[in-house]
Amino acid sequence: MIVIMQQGASEARIDHVIERVEQLGLTPHVSRGQFRTVVGAIGDKQPAHQAILESLDGVERVVPITKPFKLASREFHTADTIVEVGGVSIGGRGVVVIAGPCAIENAEMLNRIASTVAERGAMLLRGGAFKPRTSPYEFQGLGEDGLKMLRETGDRLGLPTVSEVLNAAQVELAGRYVDMFQIGARNMQNFQLLQEIGDSGKPVLLKRGFAATIREYLMSAEYILSRGNRNVVLCERGIKTFGTEVRFTLDVSAVPVIKNYSHLPIIVDPSHAAGNRQYVSALALAGIAAGADGVIVEVHDRPEEALCDGPQALLPDMFEELVGQIDKVAAALGRTIISANNKKEKTSHKGHEEHQE
C-alpha cells in the first residue's frame, strides 16, 4: 500500500504514520516530493490495515499497489527516478553513454581505450575485472589488480567507473574502487548478491537475464530497492530466442513497457545483444528511439588482440559516429545527450527520492 499524505503534512504526522506502519508489521519506505510525501507500507498486509492507516491525522488516502514489484512500480513513485553516478545523472531528459573494453587486460590497454572513449563522448567508463565465462579455461579477469587500474584510469580522465561483481563476497572489495556495480544477466536472480548490493547503497546497473520476463526482472530490482538502495539503473541486453543471426535478440519493446511499469531508468546494451559490431549501432539507436536513458557499449582499438568479446567491440571511429547519431536521435525526441558541458542533467526532477502526484 502507499499512504499519500496531505499537502503540507507536518513531520510529526509523517513520523506517526511511519511508526504505525511499523507497528502493523509492515516496512515503511518514504518518498518525499515537491508537494507531498508518500509512505510505502510494504509487507504482508491484512484487510484492516488500509482502514487503520486512513484514519491517521494528515493522511489523504491509502492506495493498494497492485503490481508485485512494489517499490519499483510507478504506483509507488510516479516521477522518473534519476540516479547520480559520480556526478553523472542517469534518467530524466538526459541520455548517457557508457563505454570501454569488455575486460581489463592490462593498464596500457585500458588507458589507451579509456582515453579514446572519453575524447569521443563517453561519460562513464566500463571495464570488467571479474569475467563470468562459459568455459573455465577462458580469461577470468584480473580481479583486484584490474579494479585498481580502472580506478586510476577513471580518476585521471574524470570518468565514473562501472564494473561487474559476480558474488556477494566481491561487493566490499569492488566497492572500494568502482562508482557503480554491474550485475550481469547470469546473476539477475542471485538474491544474496542483490541483497548485498542493496545494503551497500552504491548505484547498480542491473542487467536483465536472457530468459527472464519483465515481471521477474523488476522483482529482482525489488530485492535491491527493498534493502534501502534506490540507486538502480536497469539494462536491457537481449533475450534468447530461436534466431541465430545475432547473439541475443534485443527486446526493444521492453524499454517502453518498463517505462510504463516502473520509475527506474533503463539503458540498453547492444554489444551483448548483437555479438557483432556490424549491428551494434543500429540496435543502440533503436533503444534510444524507444525511450532508453542511455547505452553501454564495448569499444576496442585492437579487437583482434582482445581477450574477451573482440567481435562485438566497436572500433573508435565507429564509436564516435554512434555518439553523433545518438545525439541526433535524442534531439529529435526532445532529449539531450550527456556531455562534459551538461554533466548534471538539469530537469524539473530533483533526484531519486522525489515523488510527484
Q: Could you give all domains of the chain from N- to C-terminal order, each with its CATH number?
A: 2-63 (3.30.70.1140), 83-342 (3.20.20.70)
The residue-averaged pLDDT of 247-257 equals 97
Mean residue pLDDT of the chain comes to: 92
- State the average pLDDT over residues 142-156: 97
Percent of residues, the chain, with pLDDT higher than 70: 95
Q: What are 3-14's pLDDT values in tens digits?
A: 999 998 999 999
- Cell numbers for 180, please give them: 557503480
From 24-28, 43-47, 319-323, the region with the lowest mean pLDDT: 43-47
Q: Which residue has the higher pLDDT, 36 or 90?
A: 90
At residue 313, does pLDDT exceed 70? yes
pLDDT of residue 356: 39
Say if residue 353's pLDDT is above 60: no
Is the pLDDT at 352 greater than 60, yes or no?
Answer: no
Q: What is the pLDDT of residue 343?
A: 57
Q: Give the β-pairing of 37-42 and 2-5.
A: antiparallel
75 contacts: CB under 8 Å, gap ≥ 6 = 2, 63, 65, 66, 67
CA distance 4 to 261: 19
Least confident of 23-27, 66-70, 206-210, 327-331: 66-70
Rounded Cα gap, residues 116 and 343, in angstroms: 18
Amino acid at 71: L
- In this prediction, what percent of the chain has a pLDDT beyond 90? 80
- Residue 227, CA atoms < 13 Å, CB-side half-sphere: 21
Alpha helices by DSSP H, the chain: 11-23, 47-54, 107-119, 144-157, 171-175, 191-200, 214-225, 254-261, 270-274, 277-289, 316-332
pLDDT of residue 348: 32
- Identify which has the larger pLDDT, 47 or 178: 178
Q: How much is the pLDDT for 354?
A: 41
Task: Characterize 160-178 residue by residue with b for buried, 16 or more Cβ atoms within 10 angstroms of its Cβ, and e for exposed.
Answer: bbbbbbbebebbeebbebb
Asked if 139 and 103 touch (Cβ cutoff 8 Å), the reply is yes
More confident position, 338 or 109: 109
Burial of 316 (0-12, 13-18, 19+ CB in 10 A): middle
Q: Is the pLDDT of residue 34 over 80?
A: no
pLDDT higher than threshold 70 for residue 77: yes
Whether residue 347 is predicted with pLDDT greater than 70 in this model: the reply is no
pLDDT at 355: 38
138-142, 193-197, 236-240, 334-338: least confidently modelled range:
138-142
Give the pTM: 0.88
Who has greater pLDDT, 353 or 121?
A: 121
Q: Is the pLDDT of residue 339 over 80?
A: no
Residues 296 and 90 sit within 8 Å (Cβ to Cβ): no
> Predicted confidence band at 325 (pLDDT cuts at 50, 70, 90)?
very high
DSSP annotation of 305: G
